[in-house]
Amino acid sequence: MNLDHVFVCGNPALDFAATLRARRSARFEMFATPDRLTAWYVESGIVDAVSPAEDADVEQAKAVREAVYRLVTGRRLGEAYDRAALTVLNNAARTSPAVPQLTPSGRWTQATPQEALSLVARHAVELLGGPDVPLLKECGNPECTRTYIDRSRGTRRQWCGMDSCGNKIKAAAYRARKKATPTTPN
């Protein structure tokens, strides 16, 4: 089942936080149902298979997602960590994660929703406690609220992704320039 999730942020925890889209305007919830959460875990590459999620798993995932978003945003802005968000994230990270297995066809990770969520939380802990913090940026598209890791030359990247936001902004700017430029008759 492909739900067109977008993975452009450079870290699974950041992509997870971006599953509530357009936070400042329309707010589009990617985890509307348990199967959408399950699909995200597999599509993200965190795990290869996950047992079916329940409504409670979705609520827990949303709580962790919001904690990750608050912590990443606070860290990016140089603010102190939100203590409640720290507790939510650390509790999820303490849960036993899924364990990869070696099979004749290669690496395989089967997980429960709780084990998959633990992996996401651990990615967030490693990110926020690691060297990539100075590279955290918010997308330059005013309607987008994704945070991404800017590893571009000179750290000049402006958008979470060209396909998801960059092309839209560039096309809109081009249309605005064309509209503002008077045309000359031939």
Any idea where the domains of the chain sit in the sequence?
A: 12-180
Average pLDDT over residues 30-38: 95
106, amino acid identity? G
Q: 80: which DSSP letter?
A: P
Between residues 67 and 178, which one has the greater pLDDT?
Answer: 67
Within 10 angstroms of residue 148's Cβ, the number of other Cβ atoms is: 23
For residue range 68-118, what is the model confidence (pLDDT) as tens digits? 999 999 999 999 999 999 999 999 999 999 999 999 999 999 999 999 999
The pLDDT of residue 176 is above 70: no
Q: What is the pTM of this model?
A: 0.85
The pLDDT of residue 162 is above 70: no
Burial of residue 154, with CB atoms counted within 10 A of its CB: 0-12 exposed, 13-18 middle, 19 or more buried: exposed
Average pLDDT over residues 42-55: 96
Share of the chain above pLDDT 70, in %: 85
Position 178 scores a pLDDT of: 66
Between residues 105 and 185, which one has the greater pLDDT?
Answer: 105
What are the beta bridge partners of residue 137?
148
What are the beta bridge partners of residue 29?
20
Task: Give me 127's structure tokens.
Answer: 């990110």
Q: Assign domain 12-180 to its CATH superfamily.
A: Jann2411-like domain (1.10.3300.10)
The pLDDT of residue 62 is above 70: yes
Position 102 scores a pLDDT of: 97
Position 183 scores a pLDDT of: 63
Half-sphere exposure of 50 (CA within 13 A, CB side): 29
Position 81 scores a pLDDT of: 95
Alpha carbon distance 44, 71 (integer Å): 21
Residue 28 — φ and ψ, nearest 5°?
Answer: -110, 120
Alpha carbon distance 18, 138 (integer Å): 11
Position 1 scores a pLDDT of: 44
Local structure of 146: helix, strand or coil: coil
